[in-house]
Structure 1
């Protein structure tokens, strides 16, 4: 009498890996998504490799150290953010100010979340401040240039900071609450205020 044949153990299904690409830019995009979901403390070789669908060793090969990975991810995010910024995209009229802001948030929520995570992390890691300050100085300058096209007379640093703070707050709220219609409504009100201010200055 022969022993009964034991059924082969069921194979565990392999985890499906989505390969976003193996180049440095693809890995940096993966790093941005990791940080956007879990904060900077979750940024590891292994997390980036899993997100990008590549081997752990490939990430090590490209960056060499976690500090280098963080530094390059920050630089990459800054460049990407500046290239997608809606400041300066208008025609110089109040009605076109910050055109496409809500669409920008919808198209790249991970990039926006990454920046807010960095702002919070910079309170614990002062070495991040220099790069973040550089990014925001470019934002402030872009805001000032656009306001200069809309408002007669010089635009003070306080005015450009105030307007940019309004835009940044709208981005954050849309990112968290997803209320696109509220963003659009608030932008309409802001454009109306700028139009009124432009008329008031023209009258003087």
Structure 2
């Protein structure tokens, strides 16, 4: 593994996979391309992941875990003041991770073998959203679906158009709506 610190090869391969798919779609994803992007030998890809499907799935899980954590869906602050606080910075800091996920989502329309993985990813985001809403007394699956769809749409818009001001304003309005709704339901 030239150029990559010992023990970081697996993460470098995951990050390389994300960058390649974000830039070129799945058609650009080859062992050689990933290895070159990561600065390792192409045998390392097969060693760490075995096959292309596992590489894609693990890169997706890697992105989801980081996204949920960095979006800060959960907050210890009272009310919804901290809800989705990191959403804009998440996309600004690593737009490839979001583009990678959207590329795979669209590819799942053409490749049925990806659908279950994409469903699990969406469910992970939906569960994280639900947990935060339920923490505030909004234990409503339909509301969860609506809020998740709004957040997903905002991430997509930020990823595609990079309009930070507009996205931040929209997140703030979403927080205000949730706060108003929670207050009305508890009254």
2-structure distance, mates of 1:123, 1:55: 32
Deviates more, 1:93-102 or 1:78-87: 78-87
Which residue, out of 32, 35, 38, partners 2:24?
Answer: 38
1:191 aligns with 2:161: no
Q: Is the 8 A contact 2:72 2:82 kept in 1?
A: no
Paired residue for 2:40, among 31, 34, 54?
54
Q: Are residues 19 and 116 of structure 1, via their aligned partners in 2, closer, same or farther at CA, if it must alter by over 3 Å?
A: farther
What is the rounded CA distance, in whole Å, between the counterparts of 1:72 and 1:199 in structure 2? 40
CA positional deviation for 1:20:
5.5
- Where has structure 1 moved over 6 Å in runs of 4 or more? none
Spell out, residue by residue over 1:103-123, the C-alpha distance to the aligned partner (whole angstroms, 9 max, x if none). 111122111111111111111
Q: Identify the residue that residue 145 of structure 2 maps to in structure 1.
A: 161
CA 1:194–1:61: 2 relative to 1, 3 Å? closer
Shift of 1:161: 0.7
- In the other structure, the counterpart of 1:77 is 63
CA gap of 1:78–1:188, structure 2 versus 1, over 3 A, is closer
- The reply on whether 1:87 has 2:77 as its aligned counterpart is no
State the match for 1:124 in structure 2: 110
What is the number of equivalent residue pairs in this alignment?
184
SS at match of 1:97: coil
Between the aligned partners of 1:130 and 1:89, the Cα distance in structure 2 is 29
TM-score of the pair, normalised by structure 2: 0.86
- 1:96 is paired with a residue of what secondary structure? coil
Cα offsets for 1:61-87 (capped at 9, x unmatched):
433433343333333333333343421
CA distance in 1, matches of 2:83, 2:66: 21
Bigger radius of gyration among the two: 1
Give the corresponding residue for 1:202. 186
Decide which structure has greater helix share: 2
* Shift in alpha-carbon separation, 1:87–1:48, aligned structure 2, 3 A: same
User: 5+ unaligned residues in a row in structure 1: which ranges?
Assistant: 1-17
**Structure 1 71/146 Cα, relative in aligned 2: closer, same or farther at 3 Å?**
closer
Please state how far the C-alpha of 1:19 moved relative to its aligned partner: 4.4
Structure 1 residue 107 corresponds to structure 2 residue 93: yes
TM-score (norm 1): 0.80
5+ unaligned residues in a row in structure 2: which ranges?
none
1:95, distance to aligned residue in structure 2 (A): 2.2
Task: Measure, in 2, the Cα distance between the counterparts of 1:64 and 1:199.
Answer: 51
Larger mean Cα displacement after TM superposition, 61-70 or 120-129:
61-70
